[in-house]
Amino acid sequence: MSFRIRIVGFVVGLAVCLTLVLALLELAVTGDAMEPGELLTDFVEMLVMALAIVIGVFGLDRLRTLEGEAEVLKAKLDDAARAGADWRRQSAHFARGLSAAVAQKFDDWGLTEAEADIAGMILKGASLKEIAQVRQTSQATIRQQAQAIYRKSGLANRSELAAYFLQDVFDMAAARSAAQHEQSPKH
């Protein structure tokens, strides 16, 4: 039997029990039996009350579950933030060197200061719309400057621009790893 059917059965059963309790209390207090219409009205009221109780209990349970999930996500986010801060601290020297190498390549390509700024934002993943907002200019102007960057660099688009520098990063990382491996003592 499905969970929903069991819940519906529980709610109806609870309403019937509460209605019977009310009918018995009415009989015990007044000595008169309830009229069928009065009994039906009380049953519907108890059904609604039982349903409200069940919904409240499930709502609280769901809230507790969501709070637990939120705590887990917050802990994971805190861990990721710490790991990111550690990585940035450990790679600060490398990042400064990479930034200098990227700036030098922009100079080699003959990019203007504005084009170099835009190329940097493109490398960071900003959209043309976002760059236009930051630089307080139109997307058309940013699009033209991006085309000038691609033309001067000999690259076709933002993907090739990113790949150009990532290739260098991976080549430098591989060279560094190989150098460290050669310097380690052999057993």
Q: Does residue 113 share a domain with residue 84?
A: no
For the record, the structure tokens of 103 come out as 């700036």
Tell me: do 84 and 100 sit in the same domain: no
Return the number of other C-beta atoms located less than 10 Å from residue 122's C-beta: 21
Closest CA to 98 of 153, 166, 151: 166
Report the share of the chain in percent with pLDDT over 90.
Answer: 44
Q: Can you tell me the mean pLDDT for 58-71? A: 91
Dump pLDDT digits (tens) for 98-117. Answer: 888 899 999 999 999 999 99
pLDDT of the residue at 116: 97
Same domain, 108 and 77: no
pLDDT higher than 80, residue 170: no
* Alpha carbon distance, N-terminus to C-terminus of the chain: 66
43 with 75, same domain: the answer is yes
**CATH code assigned at 105:** 1.10.10.10
172 CB-near residues (< 8 Å, 6+ apart): 98
The better pLDDT of the pair 69, 8 is held by 69
Q: Helices 139-153 and 128-135: crossing angle, nearest 10°?
A: 110
Domain closes at, from 74, 89, 104:
89
- The answer to whether 49 and 18 have CB atoms below 8 angstroms apart is yes
Q: What is the pLDDT of residue 61?
A: 85
Q: Are residues 124 and 63 in the same domain?
A: no
Residue 122, CB half-sphere, CA atoms under 13 Å: how many?
A: 25
- Are 160 and 147 found together in one domain? yes
Domain that holds residue 49: 3-89
Model confidence band, residue 52 (pLDDT cutoffs 50, 70, 90): confident
d(CA 46, CA 162): 66
Q: What is the mean pLDDT of residues 68-80?
A: 95
